Chain A
Amino acid sequence: MSPTEPAVELHGITKRFPGVVANHDIDIEVAAGTVHAIVGENGAGKSTLMKILYGMQRPDEGTIKVAGKEVAFHSPADAITRGIGMVHQHFMLADNLSVLENVVLGAEKLHGIGGKARRRIEEISRQYGLGVEPDRLVEQLGVGARQRVEILKVLYRGAKILILDEPTAVLVPQEVEELFGNLRELKREGLTVIFISHKLDEVLSVADTITVIRRGTTVDTVQPGAVTARQLAELMVGSELPVPELRESTVTDVPVLTMRDVTVRDADGRTVVDDVSLTIHEGEILGIAGVEGNGQAELVEAIMGMLPVESGVIRLSETDLTGLVTRRRREAGIGFIPEDRHRHGLLLDSPLWENRILGHQTRPPNVKGRLIDRQGARRDTERIVRDYDVRTPGIDVTAASLSGGNQQKLIVGREMSGRPKLLIAAHPTRGVDVGAQSAIWDHLRHARADGLAVLLISADLDELIGMSDTLRVILRGRLVGEADPATITPDQLGSLMTGAGEGSAA
């Protein structure tokens, strides 16, 4: 590879899917031996672009050059022979095999499966400072180590250009630092890294060059020294960002949700929610901060009655929820914006008005007695579409045909229509566009002013700090700390989340 040639050049890449253009006129040059970040909102077209570069999809127009030579990839195998490797966001490792076995799996021809392969793995590990032990079972490894195995897998297959898709999404801050150390090491050895992310602080700290993608096309390429995170964010969304913030406190002393010593175990008997006690009052938004996978999802499911509680009490106002099924809990006044709206919030193949009924199958205006009230449900769906600005040509299109933001607005509208006392909002603005984000925050603020109690779970620390009256930190299923959203910074909250500030003021 000549050092003057860019490692990868993309020119005029356009990819159309029926009905939508996922990418158009993408132009990117990635210099060899650099870390090049590609940032953009969810749905901006980053994944499609990476699939094109990795040979999983073919562009309708445009050219791809690798080390100055034009290429046409028909499959990931083609990309690998050209030295392009991909580290997926979700690891593709077999837990019950050793690191060695995982690495050679599918690449047995390169160095066999025995001593030669082991020596090669150890050599790569040393060269790039990955610290991978070939004989450990993958199931014994932590998330960071598994990611390093994935990177090693790609290097083992001879990659000189590495694509990392949202690599930090699953890591805690220390692991992120370690990863960045590895990336710098790779760069020093002459490899090129394409780093996809939407976490701007991280991008600014590790990348040499940053390309911003918005609405399927490249809008700018900048140097990290020349922009702030906020400027980058505004490039990403193409407008000024809404600010999550609350006005004067509306918190009352009337408890709505009371949890006392709640413990939940999963199917394997592991404690996933450990002795949690909390109270949310009327007009209060309580935010739960924590690295994903520390019991937030299980906490929500326990309140919803989707997971059995091992011990402890959950009350909604005066009602004891323990022992009630999900439907009774919803009827008692819980609204639920689920973390994964496709899995838990919508019937994707059903029309909007049927989705209006979901979760409210026993309540007017959706039903009369044991029968579905189609007219009532349809009328009320029209109202939600109007009041919550759901952009749709009608209420008979399927939920799947709406954009993520509009799906989410429909869900928010629906859950608010049940006049809940408590709203569980899990990542309410994840993967939605800026307009929908600001609308959803508005609705939360209004409902709070009307006395709604909200349990807010989010990975977006700005959202958490800005929208919460009270902040609690969850770590390994335990509430380990409390923070004042008026004074805490995202950095401080981040370190609380990893347990660094354990025992502060619980």
Chain B
Amino acid sequence: MIYRLLAKSYTRTIVAALVALVFAIAVTSIVLSVSGFDPPSTFQAMFEFGKEPDSVVNTVNRASGYYLSALAVAVGFRMNLFNIGVDGQYRLAAMLAAAVGGAWALPAGLHQVVIVLVAVAVGGLWAAIPAMLKVARGVSEVISTIMLNFIATAIIGFLLHPGRLAVQLGPNNIGTKPISSSGRMPGIPYPGSELKLYSFLVIAILAGLGYWFMINRTRFGFDLRATGLSQSAAVASGVDARRMVVMAMVMSGAMAGLIGMPQLLGGSYTYSLDFPAGIGLTGIGIALLGRNGPVGIAFAALLWAFLDQSSQILDFNDIPKEIVAITQAAVLLSVVIVYEVVNRAGQRIDQRRVATQLGEVTA
């Protein structure tokens, strides 16, 4: 029966994820015990706090950004392109989109579309730089995207300056001119909470569906996956590897452009000094955890956001909330290992099944 289960790749993923989670809880429990805290009540407190309506809203909102980020990373991962630059791409995209959105007041509907399109375009163009460098000069995208993250930070620092794209928001805070109400996306109420769910969540879900469709149902997706599975076979089959690098990278960047939108359109309406940073790097871990699949990533993003969120209560109980970082790291590390083990077991089962069904037990 286990044989049949492991024959399906998604069950392999689920088994791997569950084992990894159990392992991570075990590691966390050990760390908690050693530090003199009580694991069951700690987990219970996290869980109780995590299921409060306010927490649910914050978790889901946080997860929407993580989800988009991991999708952006996954587009590249699918063809063995490591876009470490998602972070810079989304921050630059969010900043320029916020500036455009704040500069002009357009009719509601159009206003939001323009903001999102600017973000997508900026993200895509910024990602096109490492793509071109890789195709034309053979520069590793890992190196170039990391460098471009720093450059993006510098550009944002330069532009986000009073007199350029920024205005004074308080005595000590600056940011882009706030987007007028015509460009905002009203939140979705959640029972029992005064906080609201970002309505951009819907677009994040659509992006996930689009990603799934693109990967599994289109010619382009097939070429993308083929390139990731075996570049040499893909090239021999007629895939233009250089074109694919550019396309995949630009798509990854365009997706990255969406990451800041839930927050920008649903919460802050301005790109200020305290706009969330670092989501692009978190996305790498979440894509890994979710095995680059749209559903897996959704669960991974929610898990990650839940851990982040419920860690707040740890601080409140004088338990260092860095403990959650240990849980997250343990999940990530173990899922990679466990998946590899489970996958190999599954492959061996596959081969044995073929051999036994054909009655050819030989080398």
Direct contact between A and B in the complex (CB less than 8 angstroms)? yes
User: Is A344 within 8 A of B220, CB to CB?
Assistant: no
Could you tell me the distance between the alpha carbons of A347 and B230 in the complex, rounded to whole angstroms?
6
Q: For B213, give the chain A residue with the smallest CB separation.
A: A371
Q: Does B357 contact A (CB under 8 A)?
A: yes
Residues of A contacting B355 in the complex (Cβ-Cβ under 8 angstroms): 19-20
User: Is A361 within 8 A of B237, CB to CB?
Assistant: yes
Contacting residue for A367 out of B219, B226, B350, B352, CB 8 A = B219
Knowing that A20-B351, A327-B237, A358-B233 touch, tell me 11 more A-B residue pairs with CB under 8 angstroms. A21-B361, A216-B363, A326-B235, A345-B236, A349-B229, A358-B234, A358-B237, A359-B236, A371-B219, A372-B221, A391-B358
Q: Does A169 contact B (CB under 8 A)?
A: no
Residues of A contacting B240 in the complex (Cβ-Cβ under 8 angstroms): 325-327
Contacting residue for A400 out of B220, B225, B236, B347, CB 8 A = B347
Q: Does B232 contact A (CB under 8 A)?
A: yes
Contacting residue for A403 out of B216, B221, B352, B360, CB 8 A = B360
Residues of B contacting A358 in the complex (Cβ-Cβ under 8 angstroms): 226, 233-234, 237
Residues of B contacting A346 in the complex (Cβ-Cβ under 8 angstroms): 230, 233
Q: Does A22 contact B (CB under 8 A)?
A: yes
Q: Which of A42-50, A67-75, A135-143 contacts B (4 or more CB under 8 A)?
A: A42-50
User: Is B348 within 8 A of A18, CB to CB?
Assistant: yes
Q: Does A370 contact B (CB under 8 A)?
A: yes
- For window 291-347 of B, CB contacts with A under 8 Å fall at 347
Q: Does B44 contact A (CB under 8 A)?
A: no
- For window 186-244 of B, CB contacts with A under 8 Å fall at 216-223, 225-226, 229-230, 232-240
Q: Does B161 contact A (CB under 8 A)?
A: no
User: Is A343 within 8 A of B233, CB to CB?
Assistant: yes
Q: Does A94 contact B (CB under 8 A)?
A: no
Q: Does A472 contact B (CB under 8 A)?
A: no
A residues with CB within 8 A of B: 18-23, 43-45, 48, 215-216, 304, 306, 325-331, 336, 338, 343-350, 354, 357-362, 367, 370-372, 374, 391-393, 397-398, 400-403
User: Is B354 within 8 A of A392, CB to CB?
Assistant: yes
Q: Does B41 contact A (CB under 8 A)?
A: no
The DSSP consensus for interface residues of chain B is: helix
Residues of B contacting A331 in the complex (Cβ-Cβ under 8 angstroms): 238
Contacting residue for A327 out of B229, B238, B361, CB 8 A = B238
Could you tell me the distance between the alpha carbons of A48 and B230 in the complex, rounded to whole angstroms?
26
Knowing A21-B362, A326-B236, A345-B236, the reply to whether A393 touches B222 (Cβ < 8 A) is: no
User: Is B235 within 8 A of A401, CB to CB?
Assistant: no
User: Is B238 within 8 A of A400, CB to CB?
Assistant: no
User: Is B230 within 8 A of A348, CB to CB?
Assistant: yes
Could you tell me the distance between the alpha carbons of A252 and B350 in the complex, rounded to whole angstroms?
47
Could you tell me the distance between the alpha carbons of A343 and B233 in the complex, rounded to whole angstroms?
6
Contacting residue for B363 out of A43, A343, A370, CB 8 A = A43
Knowing A215-B363, A345-B233, A400-B347, the reply to whether A361 touches B358 (Cβ < 8 A) is: no
Could you tell me the distance between the alpha carbons of A216 and B360 in the complex, rounded to whole angstroms?
12
User: Is A20 within 8 A of B218, CB to CB?
Assistant: no
Contacting residue for B238 out of A44, A343, A359, CB 8 A = A359
Q: Does B51 contact A (CB under 8 A)?
A: no
Residues of A contacting B357 in the complex (Cβ-Cβ under 8 angstroms): 393
User: Is B362 within 8 A of A216, CB to CB?
Assistant: yes
Q: For B220, give the chain A residue with the smallest CB separation.
A: A370
Could you tell me the distance between the alpha carbons of A401 and B232 in the complex, rounded to whole angstroms?
20
User: Is B226 within 8 A of A401, CB to CB?
Assistant: no
Residues of B contacting A374 in the complex (Cβ-Cβ under 8 angstroms): 217
Q: For B356, give the chain A residue with the smallest CB separation.
A: A19
Contacting residue for A306 out of B226, B235, B354, B361, CB 8 A = B235
Distance to closest chain B CB from A407 (angstroms) = 11
Distance to closest chain A CB from B277 (angstroms) = 36
Distance to closest chain B CB from A498 (angstroms) = 30
Q: For B354, give the chain A residue with the smallest CB separation.
A: A401
A-B contact pairs, 29 of them (CB 8 A): A18-B348, A22-B363, A23-B363, A216-B362, A306-B236, A326-B238, A327-B239, A329-B238, A330-B238, A344-B235, A347-B230, A347-B233, A350-B226, A358-B226, A359-B236, A360-B237, A361-B222, A361-B223, A370-B220, A372-B216, A372-B217, A372-B221, A372-B222, A391-B360, A393-B357, A393-B358, A400-B347, A400-B351, A401-B351
Q: For A368, give the chain B residue with the smallest CB separation.
A: B219
Residues of B contacting A44 in the complex (Cβ-Cβ under 8 angstroms): 363
Q: Does B353 contact A (CB under 8 A)?
A: yes
Q: For B362, give the chain A residue with the smallest CB separation.
A: A215
Contacting residue for B217 out of A371, A398, A402, CB 8 A = A371
Q: For A213, give the chain B residue with the smallest CB separation.
A: B363
User: Is B347 within 8 A of A401, CB to CB?
Assistant: yes
User: Is A372 within 8 A of B363, CB to CB?
Assistant: no
User: Is A347 within 8 A of B229, CB to CB?
Assistant: yes
Distance to closest chain A CB from B213 (angstroms) = 9
- Enumerate the 8 nearest inter-chain pairs by beta-carbon distance, A residue then B residue, closest first: A327-B238, A19-B352, A359-B237, A344-B236, A393-B357, A18-B348, A326-B238, A401-B351
Could you tell me the distance between the alpha carbons of A390 and B225 in the complex, rounded to whole angstroms?
25
User: Is A48 within 8 A of B236, CB to CB?
Assistant: no
Could you tell me the distance between the alpha carbons of A21 and B361 in the complex, rounded to whole angstroms?
7
User: Is A402 within 8 A of B363, CB to CB?
Assistant: no
User: Is B363 within 8 A of A371, CB to CB?
Assistant: no
Could you tell me the distance between the alpha carbons of A22 and B216 in the complex, rounded to whole angstroms?
37
Could you tell me the distance between the alpha carbons of A367 and B219 in the complex, rounded to whole angstroms?
7
User: Is A48 within 8 A of B363, CB to CB?
Assistant: yes
Most chain-B CB neighbours within 10 Å: which of A19, A43, A329?
Answer: A19
User: Is B230 within 8 A of A325, CB to CB?
Assistant: no
Distance to closest chain B CB from A431 (angstroms) = 12
Could you tell me the distance between the alpha carbons of A402 and B362 in the complex, rounded to whole angstroms?
12
User: Is A393 within 8 A of B353, CB to CB?
Assistant: yes
User: Is B226 within 8 A of A347, CB to CB?
Assistant: yes
Could you tell me the distance between the alpha carbons of A345 and B236 in the complex, rounded to whole angstroms?
7
